[in-house]
Structure 1
Amino acid sequence: MTDSAWEWAYDGYDPEAEPLREALCTLGNGYLATRGAAPETTADGVHYPGTYAAGLYNRAPTLLAGRRLEHEDMVNLPNWLVLRFRVRPEDGPDGDWFTPDGAAGGELLEYRQWLDLRSGTLERRFRYRDAHGRHTRVEQSRLVHMGDPHLAALRTAFVAEDWTGAIEIESAIDGSIGNTGVPRYSDLADHHLTSLHTGGDDTDPAIVWLRCRTNESDIRIVVAARTRVEPEIRREDIRTHRSDFRVGQVMDLPIAPDRPAAVEKTVALHTSRDPAISSPQSAALQRVRRAPAYADLLGSHRMAWDRLWRHAALDVPGEPGHILRVHLFHLLATLSPAHTAELDVGVPARGLHGEAYRGHVFWDELFVLPYLNLHFPDLSKALINYRYRRLPEACRSAHAIGRAGAMYPWQSGSDGREETPEVHLNPRSGRWLPDNSRLQHHVGSAVAYNVWRYGQVTGDVEFAHSRGAEMLLQIARFWADSAVYDRQHERYRILGVLGPDEYHDGYPDRDTSGLDDNAYTNVTASWVLAHAVRVARTLPVSRRGEVFERIGMAEGEPDEWDEISRRLYVPFHEGVISQFEGYGDLEELDWEGYRKKYGDIRRLDRILESEHDTVNRYKASKQADTVMLGYLFQPRELVAVFHHLGYTSFDEDTWRDTVAYYLDRTSHGSTLSGVVHAWVLGRSRHAKAWSYMQDALASDVCDIQGGTTSEGIHLGAMAGTLDLVQRGLTGLETRKGALWLDPAPLPELSEYAFSVRFRGVEVRLHMRPGEVKVSVPEWEEAPARVRLGERTVEVEPGEETVLPLPE
């Protein structure tokens, strides 16, 4: 690969693009992440220097329109990045403090910043002329250490091109921050840190620290920073400034055209949630004291990233491959197999890259875990265990509404209670509206599906027969208790829920929220119930008694579940699956008229609400809803599920007609929609598959949702594009101890290569026009079984096999 294929670069400075660049230049290691803000900037509407620790939340109350609302946020931690500078020449006036927006009262002559994807660093190089005509060149490198999750570092080098004197540096830690990165949350409480204290280190004057805690969750946080300079200066020339919320050191470095200067800032962050420490403060101070110089940190950091890239090898040509590598970088920065697997955290829908969705965990793991299963199965297991630890809370939530089993929340945070806000703001109209998305109970089916798929890929029988079985059975129990028998339909129905669409949250002629018989919800509930029956009946006797006793399983429950799984109602209209009961009676939307009037109508819900209308009146969806079934199940599997439900006339033609029907009625107001449509259409070799693939690839790097990426990347969409190449285009499945392939390559993407790890064995796949090459590295100790069409082969370590694709 060329160096440019491993860079994500921005040339020139553009303040309007800076929020997006900051999100896409975030560095992380699965424990800690920092946005790509310039170190000399503060949160000011253009810049937003945010730092976040995985799973670190705090709850804050807000009084809004006479109502007391509570929300839990992923906390923006003290800003360790602060490093500002100005020139102090021997003759002439001092320069102003530099910012890229003001360029010290002068002019930016060159500006470039780039992610070095291979090394996991953010690089910046710029040159400016100050207001008095003096020229200075600056080179900067930043890392968040992938080997040591508590360390981050920043190195800045200065060259005075045509002046002599000193460069004044301020290196600081700033605790005067809040959660202010999402403008539409501005009416909500944003203060999460209290008890701020600062200090220095008695053993090393180059070290300062800031200590604080969250004001409700009572998590103690300490950030310690060590600043070293080249050339070295006397200790007495370092001026330390302290307040309760900010601590900094100011120093003057001699500089001349032939004498450059450099500053290295190394930071350690610890919290009271960390294991194996005596206190966050002593741990942070010890770690920053012992940290090596930047060059050595960079070396070990690069080695850690190199190991990750080897395990997640991906080679896709051209610009699609370039973007996929960016997506993979951010997936690994958010969910590092080395560090995240040791934490009690789930999959944050917007990564650790910003404050949208308040850092909550949604169903996006449905799009993330399938990729991780085939590369980092231990990480997948850890993320599923996040759900297992919150199973008791899910059971309490179900009990609170009079249901049995487990009802997982639509938005989850620290303890697994429902974190979905009661209201949300429409920025277009300025009105706060009820948020009914907590009725998306299909999140439970996503959890069950992830449990099942993890077991299929890894063969982890121990997990499948214990925690996995327990979660699956409790989710099935919830669906069984949610189903209501309807004598008119002679079927069971699930009432008052929401599907993935989200635009439809009720009927236009009803005062109550919720929809009846959402097809995606009912079909996946049937699948969960049927699968739970198989598990209940096939668990080893020793395990069965233990699991049944733990959850209080009654003897006849599996038989009842089997009955419901075969009799759940799925509505149809005009020969296609109805998104929900009554969908076929809704009005058609004037799509062309709205596009002509508004241009981008992805957020059709906001447009209609601003007109005092509602999507509930129309056949219009935010994202794939019914079509989502084709993401979970191959067409033949979907036919089997419908036949199990008793809809024996359902066939693959019905499914194709259903997909075509909703293709014309979806606004794609979610980045996940492009992934799902590319997947479903790609499997059927539909001509539009490539355009949806392009949308999915561009969703964050081009911010096609119009300003949302700056608030945090869409992790599910990024991982979904990786899995689209890995499983969607290859038809890769894990069944009966083998990798099954059924390729449906896109003409625009007919050659690519990647590796997966299947039941402990690395398997490399190279897709080429008309064939697929399968190989196993020589260091593996077992062969891999691969099936394509009617042919099954065993590929031994050190061998490769070329399989022709069916005509």
Structure 2
Amino acid sequence: MTGWTWEHEGYDPADAPLRESLCTLGNGYFATRGALPECSADEVHYPGTYAAGIYDRLTSEVAGRHVENEDMVNLPNWLPLRFRLPGGTWLGPDAATVLDHGETLHLSSGLLERRTRYGLGAQRALLVRQERFVHMADPHLAGLRTEFTAEGFSGTLEVEAALDGDVTNSGVPRYRDLDGRHLTHVLTGTTAADTVWLRCRTRTSDIRIALAARLTSPAPVTNRHDRPRALQTTRLELAAGRPVTVDKVVALHTSRDPAISDPLHAAVDRVVRAGGFDELLPAHLTAWDQLWRRAELDVPGEAGRILRLHLFHVLQTLSPHTADLDVGVPARGLHGEAYRGHVFWDELFVLPYLNLHFPEVSRALLHHRHRRLERARTAAGDAGRSGAMYPWQSGSDGREEAQQLHLNPRSGRWLPDHSHLQHHVGSAIAYNVWQYCESSGDQEFLHTKGAEMLLQISRFWAGSATFDDRLGRYRITGVVGPDEYHDAYPDATEPGLDDNAYTNVTAAWVLARTLDVLRSLPEPRRRELDRRTGLDAAELEEWEEISRTLHVPFHHGVISQFEGYGELAELDWRGYRHRYGDIRRLDRLLEAEGDSVNRYQASKQADVLMLGYLFSPAELQALFRRLGMSLDERTWRRTVDHYLHRTSHGSTLSGLVHGWVLARARRADAWKFCQEALQADIADIQGGTTGEGIHLGAMAGTLDLVQRGLTGLETRGGALWLDPVPLPELSSYGFTLRYRGHWGVRLRLEHGLLEIAVPSSGRAPIEVHLPDRTVRLNPGETDRPALPE
């Protein structure tokens, strides 16, 4: 590895799924996994292609029940390009002798390079070199260049390229009992001697999909159609030691694209008009160069290399092209089929990073949520609630897509899934609205769509809260928190927990922020909103009261994860680690033993500590004061210690949150968890999950750990606030920000010295609050304030 490349040496089938995920190429519109073009989907390889926002819904019979699932659709495979000697078998890494193999992912240019030497016997070999891109300037194009070199022989090589419509969603083994055949009406055709096309549609969502491919070869190209494949063949005459090149350029369109009349016509027209591989490359490289400039990140050492890889995958999933689409944040990127491509709360970990580099993308992602506000209101009404109840999992239209059953692969049992009770996703959306508007200064969005979402989410929380005369406080009951292990009380017949601390504190925050926004609205807009929503003074008074009296349980001087948590049994952590080694999925281990994690003080991820992730120490203390409670530093440290020893880290987000919180609470222990967050995907620490798609929230969260966590960076009250906590292992780093119209604000921390540079422009000065002073920087100025010890 170097700072800008990620290299994989040798061929090992066991590593293929992980490598294919980490070598995915995309541009925010679509992405293709890093499978070798000569490999078909099987138990080892999975050449999936996914377009943002393309979903389809099917019903399957599972465990005697009809289960409906909406999947991000695996689109027709544009990669296939295979080769063989005349009369021989098709060469591939699992069927031929591999003398040498390596792949290099070039982060700076968005290119995937591979080289393979296939042994042909009698001291003969075929060297195959390829370069691939998914075009970052034109989001509908992709290209594949293949160079063949004969070693120790001369002769003919048969090459076959294809567009393959015979694909299914089968990339996740535990989903294979579900119907995964989403494509139908596959047709193929020819438009020119070197160009073929394929069109199809999804079975229930009826989205039309079209691809067109142009093959450029020094020998004649023959087209034929073996439905559902469009095939192109050529016969190359190879001379020993002389490379021969074949290029494949592909265009992809769907009926969801704007400004087209028909996806097939658009795809054919685009591929015909597109230049060759060499002509397309400069614009692609320029687009990547501009992305890296806007997201500049300078972190030394191995941590910097990993962060750059994380940033690369974030940009491939959510690029400026995303700003033109109606899509959400898929939890596993556009890199695989885990979680069926659904949108969860991961934007809570993604948008804070995007806000300060690509605010137009953040705005588009929040528009996606606003377009589904009416669906969320319908869901609340159907549940007998007011306001908007956003789903825990969503796909195309915002309805709840959380599975009804989930498979425990350890026990083989299908179990009820109660994750739809994670209503805290609404608070995550509200948090992102607030953070986006604070960092961008986008008052127009805050006063219109933002205010509408905040109002309806607040209305849901107020309607969910019930007053307890005994406590003299409001309570929220029957929910599941971010921890996910606990979904019911021991031996309870109904799911749900009462007064989850994370849920209640964030609900109080949402109510308070919404009241602030409503007070700040221009009077005409306020009247408009009141009339449209029926908002009145009595409802606002109720919100004020609830925001100050929501119950937050404590036990033994620490914040309880939920009411009754402190009464649960203690787990024999040492015994389970000795017995199983890796206990990240403790819930599955216990269920397979006939036990339940609901009986124990054990967390997948400590959702109480999420409060320290979302809010600075001062903000969190102010929140508890508003609730009429005291949260001093000593209590918070005890709380951190309590959950630190009772968490299995079954989520990739857990190490991130712990590293973030410990950087301020227990600095000596922070780096271990930061390292775990950095390594989560590249080391596949959850044992096989990364091959099904990267963990986008964890990747973006590590970037934000450097950007906001270690710097204490907040965008609040029209100013930047900084309170750095340099870790010994990461005390020097720098990055650029886009803040309220200032492009390229540079921050650099170097061994206790801070440098802030504001680029020249006609914008207003930036106010920066430090722990012991406030500085004001005009455009074109640089300041180097010394940090307090």
Classify the TM-score, shorter chain: over 0.9
User: Which residue number corresponds to residue 477 of structure 1?
Assistant: 459
- For the pair 1:223 / 2:204, whether they are aligned, the reply is no
Partner of 1:96: 89
Per-residue deviation, residues 282-323 of structure 1 (Å, max 9, x unmatched) = 000000001111112111100000000000000100000000
Structure 1 unaligned runs (5+)?
A: 89-93
Residue aligning to 1:656: 637
Matched, 1:165 2:163: no
**Cα-to-partner distance string for 1:751-803 (whole Å, 9 max, x where unaligned):** 01100111011310110112111112346755432221232223333332111
Are 1:681 and 2:662 counterparts?
yes
Question: Does structure 1 retain, via aligned residues, the 8 Å contact 2:497–2:563?
Answer: yes
Pairing of 1:93-172 with structure 2 (within 5 A):
94-103=87-96, 107-172=97-162
Task: Find the counterpart in structure 2 of residue 212 from structure 1.
Answer: 200
Contact persistence 2:193–2:223 (CA under 8 A): no
Q: Which amino acid aligns with 1:317?
A: P
Aligned to 1:754: 735
Native 8 Å contact 1:503 1:615 kept in 2: yes
| Corresponding residue SS for 1:385 | helix
Q: Does the alignment pair 1:358 with 2:340?
A: yes
Report the CA distance between 1:205 and its aligned residue: 1.0
The residue number in structure 2 matching 1:709 is: 690
Query: Residue type matched to 1:75 in 2?
Result: V
Unaligned runs of 5+ in 2: none
Counterparts of 2:358 and 2:767 in 1: how far apart (Å)?
20
Q: Distance in 2 between matches of 1:650 and 1:224?
A: 61
Distance 1:324 1:233 in 2: 44
Aligned partners of 1:635 and 1:655 also within 8 Å:
no
Give the match for residue 610 of structure 2.
Answer: 628
Tell whether the 8 Å contact from 2:117 to 2:127 is kept in structure 1 after alignment: yes
- Asked if the contact 2:194–2:223 (Cα under 8 Å) also holds between the matched residues in 1, the reply is no
Equivalent residue number for residue 551 of structure 1: 533
Equivalent residues of 1:690, 1:748 under 8 A apart:
yes
Percent of pairs with identical residues: 64
2:448 to 466, 470, 475: 466
Cα displacement (A) at 1:171: 0.3
**Match for residue 368 of structure 1?**
350
Q: Is the 8 A contact 1:533 1:559 kept in 2?
A: no
Counterpart contact for 1:685–1:744, Cα < 8 Å: no
Give per-residue Cα distances to partners, 1:102-139, cap 9 Å, x unaligned. 22xxx222111011000001100122211443112111
Structure 1 residue aligned with 2:29: 31
Contact 1:763 1:784 in 2 (8 A): no
Match of 2:374 among 376, 392, 395: 392
Deviations 1:168-207 (A, max 9, x none): 1000011111000000011111110001111111xx2111
Report the Cα offset of residue 735 of structure 1: 2.1
Q: In the alignment, does 2:685 pair up with 1:695?
A: no
Cα pair distance change 1:598/1:276, threshold 3 Å? same
Partners of 2:106 and 2:112 within 8 A in 1:
yes
CA deviation map 1:200-241 (0-9, x unaligned): 11xx21111111000000000011111011xx224xxx3323
Alignment pair present for 1:321 and 2:304: yes
User: Residues 2-27 of structure 1, C-alpha deviation per residue, up to 9 Å, x if partnerless?
Assistant: x9210011011111001000000000
1:790 to 758, 761, 772: 772
- Asked if 1:456 corresponds to 2:475, the answer is no
Q: 1:193-592 to 2 correspondence within 5 Å?
A: 193-201=183-191, 204-229=192-217, 232-234=218-220, 238-337=221-320, 339-592=321-574
Offset at residue 588 of structure 1 (A): 0.3
Q: CA deviation at 1:259?
A: 3.4
Q: Which residue of structure 2 lines up, in the alignment, with residue 22 of structure 1?
A: 20
Q: Deviations over 1:539-589 (max 9, x none)?
A: 211110112222221331110100111111111100001100110010000
Distance 1:591 1:51 in 2: 41
CA distance in structure 2 between the aligned counterparts of 1:608 and 1:63, rounded to whole angstroms: 27
Give the structure 2 partner of residue 91 of structure 1.
none
1:731 matched residue in structure 2: 712
Question: What is the one-letter code of the residue matched to 2:649?
Answer: H
CA distance in 2, matches of 1:4, 1:185: 37
What's the CA shift string for 1:651-696, capped at 9, x where partnerless? 1211111111000000000000111111001123521100000000
Aligned-pair RMSD on alpha carbons?
Answer: 1.2
Give, in whole Å, the separation in 2 of the partners of 1:254 and 1:517. 73
Give the corresponding residue for 1:84.
82
- Look up the SS of the partner of 2:697 in the other structure: helix
> Secondary structure of the equivalent of 1:549?
helix
- Aligned equivalents of 1:780, 1:291: Cα separation in 2: 39
Give the Cα separation in 2 of the matches to 1:577 and 1:331: 34
Question: Structure 1: how far apart are the matches of 2:129 and 2:603?
Answer: 48
Structure 1 distance, partners of 2:241, 2:509, is 72
- Greater mean alpha carbon deviation, residues 540-549 or residues 575-584: 540-549
- The answer as to whether partners of 2:134 and 2:143 remain within 8 angstroms in 1 is yes
Counterpart-to-counterpart distance in 1, 2:297 and 2:415: 43
Bigger Cα displacement from structure 2, 635-644 vs 250-259 = 250-259
What does residue 757 of structure 2 align with? 775
Residue matched to 1:665:
646
Is contact 2:123-2:152 (8 Å) kept?
Answer: no
Residue deviations 1:12-52, cap 9 Å, x none?
11110010000000000000100000000011110000000
160-169 vs 365-374, which moves further: 160-169
8 Å CA contact retained: 1:741, 1:788: yes
Corresponding position of 2:781: 799
SS at match of 1:295: helix
Determine whether 1:597 maps to 2:570.
Answer: no
**Secondary structure at the residue paired with 1:545?**
helix
| Alignment check: 8 A CA contact 1:57 1:72 kept | yes
Secondary structure of 1:626's aligned partner: coil
User: For residue 10 of structure 1, what is the aligned residue in structure 2?
Assistant: 8
Shift of 1:362: 0.4
8 Å CA contact 2:193–2:222 kept in 1: the answer is no
Equivalent residues of 1:536, 1:558 under 8 A apart: no
Paired residues of 1:210 and 1:247 also in contact (CA < 8 A): yes
Distance 2:250 2:697 in 1: 30
Q: How far does residue 650 in structure 1 lie from its aligned partner after superposition?
A: 2.5
Against the structure 1 CA distance between its residues 685 and 771, is the aligned structure 2 distance closer, same or farther, given a 3 Å change threshold? farther
Determine the structure 1 residue equivalent to 2:54. Answer: 56
SS, match of residue 199 in structure 2: strand
Separation (CA, whole Å) in 2 of partners of 1:388 and 1:365: 14
Larger mean CA deviation between 649-658 and 28-37 belongs to: 649-658
Name the CA distance, whole Å, in 2 between partners of 1:7 and 1:72.
36
Which residue identity does 2:236 align to in structure 1?
L
